[in-house]
């Protein structure tokens, strides 16, 4: 909200001008902390309406594709974004594509996921404020509601439990540890979309450590936009979800009149 009060840095405005001129443009964004403010209950997250409108606008423009790549399960992402059908939605850090390109779990992977879920439940049962979110190929262990004094013990138990299972891939986010039965990564998802859509230039926006995997794959005239504080390999930084809304809206406007 308060989009009008956010001022984009000059280098962001320059990047928007360059992106708008791309031959085939892919505009990809993370969801939580980028399109939607982080809220105490993940199910309550709602995207900035201007960001959703800008992605719809961009998706309707010629030679322009859009994507939302999130750690959320794909069905949740569909519901929360309302962008089903216009934007390429990719869930579970790149493992759930809408278009049938998603990985299917082998019997070994399925057993590993069941093992992860059992171990995650043990952590949740041992500590207050820990919630287990089961997803098709991974399990997210949220500790947003844990007291600060318990966090070290929770992380130790996650490390000794679900994260120690052979063959798992662990990603730490904001007050969440994601334990996947197979390798996950937003970077691979972004590469897959780039190839499939034939994009000549890609812009990716994200706020969390899991987004660095995607920033690291950017090249040439691509643009990475880090949202908020923290170390990053993205070339641009903007403040918050309101700035994202302004960035996407300005990009949609610039692309339309190019
Ligand atoms: Mg995020």
Query: Does the structure show a pLDDT above 70 at 2?
Result: no
Distance from residue 257's CA to the centre of ligand 1 (Å):
30
What separation in Å is there between the alpha carbon of 249 and the centre of ligand 1? 19
CA of 23 to the centre of ligand 1 (A): 28
Find the 31 Cα to ligand 1 centroid distance in Å: 6
**pLDDT at residue 183, rounded to an integer:** 76
Question: Which letter does DSSP use for residue 32 in this model?
Answer: B
Taking each helix axis as running N to C, give the angle between helix 241-256 and helix 10-20, from 0 to 180 degrees, rounded to the nearest 10.
40
The mean predicted confidence, pLDDT, of the chain is 92
Distance 73 CA to ligand 1 centre (A): 13
Ligand 1 centre and the CA of 208: distance in Å?
Answer: 5
Q: Report the pLDDT value the prediction gives residue 166, as an integer from 0 to 100.
A: 93
Pairing of strands 131-134, 64-69: unpaired
Residue 3 has what pLDDT? 47
CA 95 / ligand 1 centre spacing (Å): 16
Are 31 and 47 a contacting pair, CB within 8 Å? yes
pLDDT digit string, tens, across residues 135-161: 888 999 999 999 999 999 999 999 999
DSSP string, 33-91: TTTB---SSGGG--B-HHHHHHHHHHHHSTTEEEEEE-SS-HHHHHHHH--TTTSEEEE
Cβ-count burial 35-46 (b if 16+ within 10 Å, e if not): bbbbeeebeebe
Cα 241 to averaged position of ligand 1 atoms, centre (Å): 10
Q: How far is the CA of 72 from the centre of ligand 1 (A)?
A: 10
Ligand 1 center–CA 107 separation, angstroms? 31
Count of residues in the chain: 258
Cα(69) to centroid of ligand 1, in Å?
9
State the distance from the centre of ligand 1 to the C-alpha of 48, rounded, in angstroms: 14
207 CA to middle of ligand 1, Å? 5
User: Is 150 within 8 Å of 129 (Cβ atoms)?
Assistant: yes
Task: State pLDDT tens for residues 163-209.
Answer: 999 999 998 888 999 999 987 689 988 998 999 899 999 999 999 99
Please, where in the chain does CATH 3.40.50.1000 lie?
A: 3-102+185-256
How distant is the alpha carbon of residue 181 from its chain centre? Answer: 18
For 7, phi and psi rounded to 5 degrees?
-115, 120
3-102+185-256 under CATH 3.40.50.1000, yes or no: yes
Q: Are 165 and 116 in contact (CB under 8 A)?
A: yes
pLDDT, tens digit, 9 for 90 and up, residues 63-108? 999 999 998 989 999 999 999 889 999 998 887 787 654 556 778 8
Answer whether 41's CB lies under 8 Å from 81's CB. no
**Interval between CA 18 and ligand 1 midpoint (Å):** 25
Which CATH number describes the domain made up of 107-180? 3.30.70.1020
Could you tell me where in the chain the CATH 3.30.70.1020 domains are found?
107-180
């Amino acid at each position: 909200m308060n989009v009008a009060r956010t001022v984009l840095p000059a280098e962001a405005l320059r990047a928007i001008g360059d992106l708008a001129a791309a031959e085939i443009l892919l505009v990809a964004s993370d969801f939580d902390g980028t399109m939607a403010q982080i809220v105490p209950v993940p199910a309550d997250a709602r995207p900035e309406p201007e960001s959703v409108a800008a992605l719809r606008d961009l998706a309707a423009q010629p030679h322009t594709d859009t994507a939302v790549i999130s750690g959320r399960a794909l069905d949740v992402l569909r519901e929360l974004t309302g962008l089903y059908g216009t934007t390429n939605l990719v869930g579970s850090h790149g493992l759930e594509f809408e278009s049938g390109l998603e990985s299917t779990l082998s019997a070994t992977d399925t057993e590993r996921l069941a093992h992860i879920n059992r171990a995650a439940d043990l952590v949740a049962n041992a500590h207050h404020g820990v919630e287990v979110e089961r997803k098709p190929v991974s399990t997210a262990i949220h500790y947003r509601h844990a007291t600060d004094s318990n966090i070290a013990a929770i992380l130790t138990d996650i490390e000794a439990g679900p994260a120690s299972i052979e063959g798992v891939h662990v990603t730490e986010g904001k007050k969440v540890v994601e334990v996947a039965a197979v390798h996950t990564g937003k970077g691979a998802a972004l590469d897959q979309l780039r190839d499939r859509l034939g994009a000549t230039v890609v812009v990716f926006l994200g706020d969390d450590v899991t987004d660095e995997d995607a920033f690291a794959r950017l090249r040439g005239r691509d643009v990475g936009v880090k949202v908020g504080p923290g170390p990053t390999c993205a070339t641009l930084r903007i403040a918050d979800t309101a700035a994202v809304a302004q960035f996407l809206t300005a990009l949609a406007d610039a692309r339309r009149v190019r």
